[in-house]
Structures are given as structure tokens and as C-alpha cells.
Amino acid sequence: MLDQIADFIGKVARPVAIIMTAFGAMWATVVIADKVENGMDGAAFAAAYFFGVGTLYVGKVVEVFRTNRNAADVEIARATGNSPGPQAVVAKNPPSDPVQTEETSP
């Protein structure tokens, strides 16, 4: 149950943060436009705020691109047979020296 809740929060947290930040940018733009007397002050604030929101969106795009590229690489490796096969098991004890267990211990 807790794993499902944690998975849900993990999937929802970033999109909600981006949407709330974008809403905050919109609200701050309206409030600053109403409060400032000099338009350059409001423009500087809006530019800085929207630069921050844009950075969040660019970060999300880069993350999705990398995730999709990694998934594509895995599928290509599966399709072409370039994935590493099963590895041979190496026995550490030769047959002449059996592994000690409770039954065979002296």
C-alpha cells in the first residue's frame, strides 16, 4: 500500500510543481503589473520569473528525451541480439574438495 502511494506521489509531484510554478508566474505577473510604477521593474521581475519556469520545462524535456533514448537503446540491443547473454557459473571448490555442510562437518 505504501509503495503504491509513494509511486503515485513520485509520478505526480513534478508535474504538479511545474503547473503550480507556472500558475504562480501568471499570478505574480498580474500583481506586479498592478503594483509597480516603473514598467522596467515589472519587466525585469517577469523575465526572471519566466526564465525560472522555462528552466523547469527544459529540464523536463531533457529528462524525457534521455529516458526515451535509453529505452530505445535497450530495445535495439534486444532486437539485434547484442545484449550480453547468460554468464557461465564457475565452481570455487573442485569435486575432490566438497563444500562443508552441517551433515559433513567433523
CB 52, CB 46: distance < 8 Å? no
Residues 24-74 pLDDT 10s: 878 887 887 778 777 787 778 778 877 887 887 888 888 888 888 888 888
Residue 23 lies in a domain: yes
Number of structural domains (the chain) is: 1
Residue 95 lies in a domain: no
Residue 85 lies in a domain: no
Better-predicted residue by pLDDT, 1 or 103? 1
Residue 64 lies in a domain: yes
Question: Residue 82's pLDDT is what?
Answer: 63
* Contacts for 49 with CB less than 8 Å, ≥ 6 apart: 24, 25, 28, 29
Residue 93 lies in a domain: no
Residue 8 lies in a domain: yes
Cα separation, 57 vs 28, in Å, equals 18
Residue 103 lies in a domain: no
Residues 61-76 pLDDT 10s: 888 888 888 888 888 8
Residue 42 lies in a domain: yes
Q: Is the pLDDT of residue 104 over 60?
A: no
Question: Residue 54's pLDDT is what?
Answer: 83
In 3-state terms the chain splits into helix, strand, coil percentages (rounded to 5) of 70, 0, 30
> What is the extent of the structural domain holding 37?
2-80
